[in-house]
Structure 1
Amino acid sequence: MNEAAAGSGLHHADLPGGRVEYRWAGPRLRDAALPVIVMLHEGLGCIALWKDFPDRMAAVTGLPVLVYSRVGYGGSAPCALPRPLTYMHEEGERELPALLKALGIGKHILLGHSDGASISLVYAGAAVRDGLLGLAVLAPHSFCEEVSVTSIAAADRAYATGDLHGRLEKYHGANTDCAFRGWCDAWLDPAFMQWSIEGYVDRITAPVLVIQGEGDEYGTAAQVDSIARRVKGPVETLLLPGCGHSPQRDQPEATLKALAGFAAKVQA
């Protein structure tokens, strides 16, 4: 059993792509007036890899937090390989709305990291989303950059010859190849250099908070600038010094403070 599956309070929901695991942190949905923070993990993430961040989010905001492992990750159903280059489009247009519907979630705030941030942007720009109060995106990508491909190629080498496979297997178990190859092989496909979700970003009217580390090894400040320029609704940006691709890990206090302020603002 992997570490995600061994965690307490796990539940499951059946989505179009397969069964996913999820858990709650903080207050439950006993008050329909209370919005839910929905957390979407990165390309190699899952519930367990968020560590205690969902619980800390619930504590600083006073809101219920929903965190789940997408299909192919953690203890969720395996995915088919190779993933299509449009896998983030499909997650934002189909899987995330299905999850919210299955769990009866009304008002919500999205919190996505990396791939999860891009999925959040697709979701918000694909259609009018009843109940969406805002989205906070950590280290998002709205187009592919050479620096992303270079860093992912380095991860591919570490997976083949280093200890990355073993470190991921602790969290993904039988889904380890789904998690890594589904993400890595899509990004390293030469056609992925043309990947973009900027058309979705152009249609976003909900408030957006963009947080990125100044030392992000997977993307540059051009990602922040593009999103800030394209979103139709209110946008806040935060570039964190001494921070790489994971603000929630590298600068947790500054990240939590910004997220708590944003959550309070979009509820006002």
Structure 2
Amino acid sequence: MEQFIHAAGHRVNTLQIGEVRADKPALVFIHGGLDCIAMWRDFPSQVTEMTGLAAIVYERWGHGKSDPLVVPREGDPREDEAGAPLTDIFRHFGLKDVVLIGHSFGGAVALLAAAKHPDTVRGVVAMAPQLVMHPQCIDGVDLAEAAYKSGKLREKLVPFHGDNTDTLFFDWAGRSKTRAFQEKSYARELEQIRCPVLEIFGEKDNYGYRPNLELSRECITRPLSVLEIPEAGHYPHLETPEHVLKAIEAFVGVLPAAST
């Protein structure tokens, strides 16, 4: 069921798959920097069917059908979106026990949210998380910007984001190149995570991934599982779903019971 809710002062679009149950965790999907609900395709439904857990999929502020961005924005959206928006989403759907599944920018949000919501987040699946804005990542942003200005990427994004597409894209690209964004360290936040983490990377990711993996291995003290898929790129869940689904099923299956 698709519905609009209010989160951190903005109207955001959400999709619920399955019935949320008090005796089971729910899955919460957090998409990447230029994505939306539709761009997950059928992946959330596949995970729900495989695990038997309900899912909440939402569109971050400025994406898809959610309220358009108001720019300029202060601070770091990765950190901001890990806080109040998720608090409101958890409250609206009555979620007290969740597994976060995030991709790219959303993977970073999921990791930071685990540190901010330790009593609610039981586990994190972070696919191609972008906490470290390293040189290869910036090169990937440059390529995306060139594709956007040529019209090719913009043509692909407009059907999903409508009139907000230009604002969304240039906020994402411009912020990625700022010194503050590139120099920001989230080592302390990763050290505060109190739940198991599964990180999934495609070895052909054009944004790169090794600096992010190295940071996680250095800072996350709770069980950290890592899957590196040789044939996958930045979207491993769409490019090699069989590997990703199998890894998530195994990860969720051994998560410790919620504390009482």
Distance 1:180 1:267 in 2: 39
Give the distance between the partners of 2:231 and 2:179, measured in 1 at CA: 31
TM normalised by structure 1 equals 0.91
How far did 1:267 drift?
A: 5.0
CA RMSD of the aligned region, Å? 1.4
- The answer to which of 205-214 and 180-189 deviates more is 180-189
Q: Distance in 1 between matches of 2:172 and 2:6?
A: 22
Q: Give yes or no for contact 1:93–1:123 (8 Å, CA) kept in 2.
A: yes
Q: Which runs of 4+ in 1 moved over 3 A?
A: none
Gaps of 5+ in 1: 1-8
| Whole-angstrom CA distance in 1 between matches of 2:72 and 2:59 | 18
Q: In the alignment, which residue of structure 1 is the partner of 2:159?
A: 170
Give the count of matched residue pairs: 257
User: How many angstroms apart in 1 are the aligned matches of 2:82 and 2:133?
Assistant: 17
Of residues 213, 227, 235 in structure 2, which corresponds to 1:246?
235
CA distances 1:106-138 after superposition (whole Å, capped 9, x unpaired)? 110000001001011111123x52232110100
Residue 105 of structure 1 aligns with an amino acid whose one-letter code is L
Contact in 2 for aligned 1:148/1:218 (Cα 8 Å): yes
Structure 2: where are the runs of 5+ without partners?
A: none
Identical columns (%): 32
Instruction: Measure, in 1, the Cα distance between the counterparts of 2:146 and 2:72.
Output: 18
Pairwise mapping of residues 95-174 of structure 1 onto structure 2 (< 5 A)? Answer: 95-126=85-116, 128-174=117-163
| Structure 2 residue 19 is the aligned partner of structure 1 residue 28 | yes
Aligned partners of 1:83 and 1:183 also within 8 Å = no
**Which secondary structure does the structure 2 equivalent of 1:136 belong to?**
strand
**8 Å Cα contact 1:215/1:245 also seen in 2:** yes
| Correspondence 1:220 to 2:203 | no
What is the correspondence of 1:83-102 to structure 2 with a 5 Å cutoff? 83-102=73-92
Deviations along 1:182-224, whole A, 9 cap, x unmatched? 2111102233221222221111121000110111111232311
- Paired position in structure 1 for 2:245: 256
1:233 paired residue number: 222
Letter in 2 for 1:74: G
Q: Spell out, residue by residue over 1:201-250, the C-alpha distance to the aligned partner (whole angstroms, 9 max, x if none).
A: 11112100011011111123231122022112111111111111111111
TM-fit CA distance, 1:16: 1.6
Aligned partner (choices 172, 189, 204) of residue 183 of structure 1: 172
1:65 aligns with 2:62: no
Partner secondary structure for residue 37 of structure 1: strand
Aligned residues of 1:142 and 1:198 also touching (Cα < 8 A): no
240-249 or 80-89, larger mean C-alpha shift: 80-89
| Aligned: 1:210 with 2:199 | yes
1:85 Cα deviation (Å)? 4.8
SS of the residue 1:21 aligns to: strand
Specify the alignment match of 1:80 in structure 2. 70
Q: Is the 8 A contact 2:97 2:122 kept in 1?
A: yes
Distance 2:108 2:75 in 1: 13
Contact 2:128 2:209 in 1 (8 A): no
Matched residues in 2 for 1:21 and 1:97: separation? 15
SS of 1:266's equivalent? coil
Contact 1:92 1:122 in 2 (8 A): yes
